[in-house]
A and B are shown apart, each in its own frame.
Chain A
Amino acid sequence: MTAEPKVAKTPAMIEARGVEKWYPNGFHALRGVDLTVQRGEVVVIMGPSGSGKSTFIRTFNALEEFQKGSITVDGIALNDDLRKIDAIRREVGMVFQQFNLFPHLSVLDNLTLAPVLVRKRSKGEVLNQAMALLERVGIAEQAHKFPGQLSGGQQQRVAIARSLCMEPRILLFDEPTSSLDPEMVREVLEVMQGLAADGMTMVVVTHEVGFARQVADRVVLMADGQVVEEATPERFFDQPQHERSRQFLSQIL
């Protein structure tokens, strides 16, 4: 049971077809997953732990390999061609559960490192942009501190700014608020909400129901390496079609 697909004027941002993945130990993590993400769309992926949702979005920028199926990101087919993987990674930003800021670099250097090295832009130009981004996520005054001196919420906002500094076309969020103290979840979600309002294409793995209801265009429920249900937030939360979805929702709501 899928939601009415948006009418695509341009090719989809992410097109995943029949993706299957086995871990080296033989575990069948993804069992033929399909997903289409249109430009400017916000898709939230939910599901119990071990359902393969993190693994799935990590295949989009080749942090995880897959064995069967096909993934196309912004018109570039993901395969073993290393140059294509690098090209895709430049266009796909990722925000991690553990922030993964570089602790030996200042906040500002965290932001400027990749644009200078990868996009070969001038440091001065990138610095201006980085300051503007830090302003946007509300921590410009921390620019010269080190990650270890910031709270979790501040670190995650820096991580979002760091991704944005590469000017990606898509942002992937892998449980961005799961390791935050409760009082810091809101500041991060507000930044993400702002991004969505500006038209950023986002795929978000999260358990934040409020965020999914307000911001998502579509909610996808994954379980046991498969997509169980895909629907608008209203439909998904108010009239879930599948037993598995009702079971999951009863556990988190």
Chain B
Amino acid sequence: MGPKPRLTPASLRKELFATPLDGLVTVLLVTGLAVAGSRLLHWALAQADWAVIQANSTLFAVGRYPIEHQWRLWLLVALLAAAAGLSWGVLRSRPLPDRPITALWPGNDRLATGILVLLASWAPAALGLTLPIQSRWWALTGLLLLVRWLAGRFGNRLGKTATLSLPLVWPLLYLVGMVLIGGGLGLVTVGANEWGGLLLTLVEASFAILLSAPLGVLLALGRRSSLPLLRWGSIVYIEFIRGAPLITLLFLGQNILGFLLPGGMAPDRIWRAAWILTFFSAAYLAEAVRSGLAAVPRGQLEAARSLGLSLPQALAQVVLPQALQIALPATVGQFISLLQDTTLLSLIGLLDLLGTARSVMANPLFLGKSSEVYLTLAVLFWCCCAALGLGSRALERRLNPPSLGR
């Protein structure tokens, strides 16, 4: 990596006004952007009526989740904040292949911290939340940054095993989260039909992400297997799922899972949808992993086998780590579209984020406020997807083994 080009007036002129035509394009684009931006800003600040968001913020966040149990969700968010801070900090405390010494708060992190602090101080107030609730958000942000600081400061003292098992925090947290959300283990049960909004969207998406990842790897290995039954089974599965629109599968799933599984075994609507999302995503993931497997030179497997490793050992230790690293960008892309695909759940009558929004917009009190609602939804989804993308890029840079060329 060479030195970053510095932005100076001279370099800007060279970049943007190199020829008369370039200059014209620049002027046109900048004018267009400025007009659109100022109009949007004018609408958002002067014309839009954000009362619809303020009045329904709890509904958008958790749906009709019983108020007396909402402390469980706050606890979960606190755990998530701590886990995010931990992962962030430990990632930063590790030296990069091409940057051996990392600052505790490099420029990007200072920017991210600034945005977080701004968001935490502005958003709760703008949503018209009460002061106690506002202060909870401040505390959560503080917790995230505190753990980030501690992990960044002391993360390099963790041993290799501790670092490698760190990602396991997330599936573990998922299990804890499901108990906190749904009840059990001494907590009062809150039925899935009472979950909604962003909570339901994230539960469905994270369930599908966590389960489709191993399923996708198995399918990809199956498709390359030398056992004909396994290979053909995988091919038929992958091609069938990829050939059908998700919405038809969701509708089918609502009916078919009821027939296929013996009475009582069929999960309720929310879990049926989660399984369909999982099966759907797994087929696409399998293709991403397959391309990763194909990119690992044949000699890798041969070298591993000639050293005496069994096929499962060779796959687990040599081929898959390389294949998954190659497939990581495509995999995260699939996760991002999976997150967005959860909006289809509103079409089968679930009150996910979009479903909740549709029910709010149907309320006569908020007629004609759809722009405000959709813009809020878009920003929420963008935040979730941006977080996924940022995390994956950070991971990618650290997984790349160092080489002479870089």
Using a CB–CB distance below 8 Å, which chain A residues touch chain B? 61, 63, 86, 89-90, 92-94, 96, 98, 100-105, 113-114, 117-119, 145-150, 159, 162-163, 166
Q: Given the complex, which residues of B lie within 8 Å of A145, measured CB to CB? A: 402
Contact between chains at B402 and A146 (CB < 8 Å): yes
CA distance A166 to B306 in the complex (A): 10
What's the minimum C-beta distance from A120 to chain B, rounded to whole angstroms?
11
What's the minimum C-beta distance from B55 to chain A, rounded to whole angstroms?
53
Contact between chains at A100 and B299 (CB < 8 Å): yes
Select which of B300, B306, B399 is within 8 A of A92 by beta carbon.
B306
Using a CB–CB distance below 8 Å, which chain B residues touch chain A? 97, 297, 299-300, 302-310, 313, 317-318, 321-322, 325, 399, 401-405
Task: Knowing A148-B402, A148-B404, say if A117 contacts B305 (CB, 8 Å).
Answer: no
CA distance A230 to B141 in the complex (A): 77
CA distance A117 to B304 in the complex (A): 11
What's the minimum C-beta distance from A59 to chain B, rounded to whole angstroms?
12
Contact between chains at A117 and B306 (CB < 8 Å): no
Shortest 9 CB-CB contacts between residues of A and residues of B = A148-B403, A100-B303, A114-B307, A100-B299, A118-B308, A90-B308, A94-B306, A146-B401, A89-B308
Task: Knowing A89-B306, A89-B307, A90-B308, say if A100 contacts B401 (CB, 8 Å).
Answer: no
CA distance A149 to B303 in the complex (A): 19
CA distance A113 to B318 in the complex (A): 10
Number of A-B contacts (CB under 8 A): 77
Contact between chains at B325 and A100 (CB < 8 Å): no
Q: Given the complex, which residues of B lie within 8 Å of A149, measured CB to CB? A: 402-404
What's the minimum C-beta distance from A36 to chain B, rounded to whole angstroms?
22
Q: Given the complex, which residues of B lie within 8 Å of A90, measured CB to CB? A: 308
Contact between chains at B307 and A96 (CB < 8 Å): no
Q: Given the complex, which residues of B lie within 8 Å of A100, measured CB to CB? A: 297, 299-300, 302-303
Contact between chains at B310 and A86 (CB < 8 Å): yes
CA distance A145 to B306 in the complex (A): 23
Contact between chains at A113 and B308 (CB < 8 Å): no
Greatest chain A CB density within 10 A among B297, B307, B325 is at: B307
Task: Knowing A103-B322, A146-B401, say if A166 contacts B307 (CB, 8 Å).
Answer: yes
What's the minimum C-beta distance from B295 to chain A, rounded to whole angstroms?
12
What's the minimum C-beta distance from A222 to chain B, rounded to whole angstroms?
21
Question: What are 27 A-B pairs with beta-carbon distances under 8 A?
Answer: A63-B305, A86-B310, A89-B307, A89-B308, A90-B308, A94-B306, A96-B299, A98-B297, A100-B297, A100-B299, A100-B303, A102-B300, A102-B318, A104-B401, A118-B307, A118-B308, A118-B309, A118-B313, A119-B308, A146-B401, A146-B402, A146-B403, A147-B401, A148-B405, A159-B303, A166-B307, A166-B308
Q: Given the complex, which residues of A lie within 8 Å of B299, measured CB to CB? A: 96, 98, 100
What's the minimum C-beta distance from B356 to chain A, rounded to whole angstroms?
44
CA distance A114 to B305 in the complex (A): 10
What's the minimum C-beta distance from B312 to chain A, rounded to whole angstroms?
11
Extra A-B contacts (16), CB below 8 Å, given A89-B307, A103-B401 = A86-B310, A89-B308, A96-B299, A96-B303, A98-B299, A100-B300, A100-B302, A100-B303, A102-B322, A113-B309, A117-B317, A118-B313, A119-B308, A145-B402, A149-B404, A166-B308
Greatest chain A CB density within 10 A among B306, B317, B318, B402 is at: B306
CA distance A150 to B325 in the complex (A): 21
Q: Given the complex, which residues of A lie within 8 Å of B97, measured CB to CB? A: 146
Q: Given the complex, which residues of B lie within 8 Å of A89, measured CB to CB? A: 305-308
Q: Given the complex, which residues of A lie within 8 Å of B403, measured CB to CB? A: 103, 146, 148-149
Greatest chain A CB density within 10 A among B303, B310, B399, B404 is at: B303
Contact between chains at B297 and A117 (CB < 8 Å): no
Q: Given the complex, which residues of A lie within 8 Å of B404, measured CB to CB? A: 148-150
Select which of B297, B306, B318, B399 is within 8 A of A61 by beta carbon.
B306
**Considering only CB atoms, which chain B residue lies closest to A92 in the complex?**
B306
Contact between chains at B401 and A148 (CB < 8 Å): yes
Task: Knowing A98-B297, A103-B401, A148-B402, say if A117 contacts B309 (CB, 8 Å).
Answer: yes
CA distance A211 to B317 in the complex (A): 35
Q: Given the complex, which residues of A lie within 8 Å of B303, measured CB to CB? A: 94, 96, 100-102, 159
**Considering only CB atoms, which chain A residue lies closest to B325 in the complex?**
A104
What's the minimum C-beta distance from B404 to chain A, rounded to whole angstroms?
6
CA distance A129 to B299 in the complex (A): 25
**Considering only CB atoms, which chain B residue lies closest to A119 in the complex?**
B308
What's the minimum C-beta distance from B383 to chain A, rounded to whole angstroms?
32
Contact between chains at B402 and A113 (CB < 8 Å): no
